[in-house]
Structure 1
């Protein structure tokens, strides 16, 4: 991950509103309106933070349809944990751990071992 990308991810998860949204959707998927009410934020603020989180693939959305045919999006967390480390060269590394199935984890491990 490039230094610029690492800084952007750190800035995003360092944002208080973004963290509140992540905490809310980590418990269960929610709509923007539900997030605004629960986190006591305006809808524009929720949408801006969701956009920031989507840029770094930290949230996903899916479309739901109401009984009367109206559509709306719900947002959910797209990762299990994030780990920030400082290596021996005084460089930060950010790892985002996602819930993968076993073959995906093996492939990821193999790629990491092959690149070292």
Structure 2
């Protein structure tokens, strides 16, 4: 869902949820599995998974699959943004989510833009 199509109320409801904020704080420090989040935040696994789904819907967290030493696969979740700014402009609220981009991606994007000119 493009950011422009998201209403301010939906984003504020998502980050206003106490459990969602606790999960965001936990994954902002380092990637964690759902089980680790459940234990650290003292939440049930179903609650963790519901909030993860809600946060993923707004692209506030992302997941990646890791392989354990025993060969089993599991997902870890991590924050997908650096900061959020909510501003009031011309009697309307605006939400800006600043994403984390790595340097090679930014360089590739810049290079592609220079080549297009």
The TM-score normalised by the length of structure 1 is 0.83
Partner of 1:96: 97
Q: Secondary structure at the match of 1:30?
A: coil
Provide the C-alpha distance between the structure 1 equivalents of 2:109 and 2:19, rounded to a whole number of angstroms: 31
Give 1:103 deviation, angstroms: 4.6
Partner of 1:71: 73
Provide the C-alpha distance between the structure 2 equivalents of 1:46 and 1:36, rounded to a whole number of angstroms: 6
Match of 1:87 among 86, 89, 94: 89
Runs of 5+ unmatched residues, structure 2: 111-117
The RMSD of aligned alpha carbons is 1.7
Query: 1:2-41 deviations in whole A, cap 9, x for unaligned?
Result: 4x53211111000000000000000000000000000000
User: How many correspondences in the alignment?
Assistant: 104
CA spacing shift, 1:104–1:45, aligned 2, 3 Å: farther
Provide the C-alpha distance between the structure 2 equivalents of 1:43 and 1:10, rounded to a whole number of angstroms: 23
